[in-house]
Structures are given as structure tokens and as C-alpha cells.
């Protein structure tokens, strides 16, 4: 199948081979390779390496000094040497889907937070309300998955989401790339652990009022 087919499989190894053969990397192929390395090869390190190349291709600030191999540096390649002030919808989509995938699949909360912090340092159009809210929900998921002390630390992100209106029922103004109830679902284990809940109007986090039989049941389960 041709390498430019929308159905082709793209991996870090395949893209390296194409570059070695003199082919210039294609942004959409790098994005799909990031997704494939995470979803199928379960190789987060390869996805991170690809993301560094994607940043160079878009001439965005580097996230770290880690390995990248598809292009040497924007200064050594005329195609990527000029700082861009205009990005296409495809450019923005490739970036947002890639960083969203890395946040969502992060093996540790600190790694997810690294990508969230990088995202919030960027200017529009790469960063907009939709990707901000998506990243916030995804980092909450990562913290909830880590359990332990992170169930408490995640409350800071939950509070930010409430301030953004993410907990308000049927709030059609709020935009993200996930299901309508994604924020509530992501926050559930954190709120339950801390015996909290959203107010009925979704504007506050309030304590759960326990009845006597609920307190007794919890005590005998400990």
C-alpha cells in the first residue's frame, strides 16, 4: 500500500526508513505514528520521540532535549527554518491530537503534567479552549489512574474544571474533544475518595453528607 495512503500504518521505524531513503516526513504520518506507537506497539518512548520531531516540523518551541530522528533541526532544513505565524487547520489538528494522546496515555502523572504545562505555554492557535479542556480532563484521568496520593493532588485540577464551567449540567458553551460527561466521569473516583461531590448546579465542590448507616458500612469495610 502506498505510504501516503490514509490507511497506511506508520511507525517510528517506518518513518526513519523513509527519511533514510530521502523522503521528507509528512506531518499527518508523524501524528498517525504517534497514535500507532501508543495504541498498538505500546511504546510511549517512541511516541515521545516522534512528538519532538512534530514540534520541529511545526517550528514550535522544544519541549525537552530528548531524542528526535526524522529531521536534524529546523535550522538545517530550509522547509522548517522560518518561524511560522500562520498555521493551517491540519497543522493545528495534528498538534492537538498528538499532544492529547501523549497526555491521555502518560505512564505517570508527572509526564502528563509535563505535556499539559507545555501546552499552556503555547499561544493560539495551537492552544485553544477545546484542547485546554481536553487536556485538563485527561490529566485528571491520569491522576485518578495512579491512585494513592494523586487522588488528593488531582483536586486542584478538578477545581480548575469547575471554575471553567465543566461541571455545569448541559453546558453547551463548553467545548472539548470528548464525550459530554467526560469531566464528571473523570472526576468521579477523585471526588469519591475525598468524600466530595459537585453541587446540583455544577458550580461548586461540596462535602458528601453521609447518613449514619453509610458511616457504619464504611467503618466495617475498613
pLDDT digits (tens, 9 = 90+) for 159-188: 999 999 999 988 877 788 888 889 999 999
* Predicted pLDDT of residue 173: 76
Under 8 Å between Cβ of 61 and 55: yes
Q: Say how far residue 156 (Cα) sits from the centre of its chain.
A: 17
Query: How is the chain split into domains, by residue range?
Result: 1-127, 147-222
Under 8 Å between Cβ of 181 and 157: no
Grid cell listed for 205:
465542590
Rounded CA gap, 96 and 105, in Å?
Answer: 14
- pLDDT tens digit sequence for 100-130: 999 999 999 999 999 999 999 999 999 999 9
Total residue length of the chain = 222
CA–CA distances in Å: residue 170 to residues 29, 128, 167:
36, 21, 9
Grid cell listed for 77:
532544513
Question: Per-residue pLDDT for 9 more than 90?
Answer: no
pTM for this structure? Answer: 0.86
* Predicted pLDDT of residue 86: 85
| pLDDT band with cut points at 50, 70 and 90 for residue 5 | low
Residues contacting residue 139 through CB under 8 Å, at least 6 positions apart: 103, 109, 112, 113, 116, 157
Question: Per-residue pLDDT for 75 more than 50?
Answer: no
Mean pLDDT (whole number) for 43-70: 93
- pLDDT tens digit sequence for 195-208: 999 999 999 999 99
Amino acid at each position: 500500500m502506498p505510504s501516503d495512503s490514509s490507511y497506511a500504518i506508520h511507525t517510528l521505524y517506518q518513518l526513519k526508513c523513509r527519511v533514510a531513503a530521502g523522503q521528507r516526513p509528512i506531518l499527518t504520518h508523524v501524528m498517525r505514528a504517534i497514535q500507532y506507537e501508543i495504541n498498538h506497539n505500546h511504546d510511549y518512548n517512541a511516541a515521545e520521540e516522534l512528538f519532538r520531531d512534530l514540534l520541529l516540523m511545526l517550528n514550535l518551541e522544544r519541549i525537552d532535549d530528548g531524542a528526535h530522528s526524522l529531521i536534524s533541526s529546523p535550522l538545517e532544513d530550509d522547509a522548517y527554518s522560518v518561524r511560522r505565524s500562520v498555521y493551517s487547520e491540519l497543522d493545528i489538528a495534528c498538534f492537538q491530537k498528538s499532544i492529547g494522546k501523549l497526555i491521555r496515555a502518560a505512564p505517570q502523572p508527572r509526564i502528563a503534567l509535563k505535556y499539559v504545562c507545555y501546552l499552556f505555554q503555547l499561544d493560539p492557535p495551537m492552544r485553544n479552549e477545546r484542547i485546554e479542556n481536553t487536556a485538563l480532563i485527561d490529566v485528571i484521568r491520569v491522576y485518578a489512574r495512579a491512585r494513592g496520593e494523586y487522588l488528593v493532588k488531582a483536586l486542584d485540577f478538578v477545581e480548575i474544571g469547575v471554575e471553567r464551567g465543566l461541571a455545569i449540567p448541559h453546558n453547551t458553551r463548553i467545548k472539548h474533544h470528548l464525550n459530554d460527561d467526560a469531566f464528571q466521569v473523570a472526576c468521579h473516583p477523585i471526588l469519591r475518595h475525598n468524600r466530595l461531590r459537585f453541587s446540583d448546579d455544577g458550580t461548586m465542590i461540596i462535602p458528601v453528607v453521609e447518613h449514619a448507616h453509610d458511616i457504619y458500612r464504611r467503618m466495617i469495610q475498613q
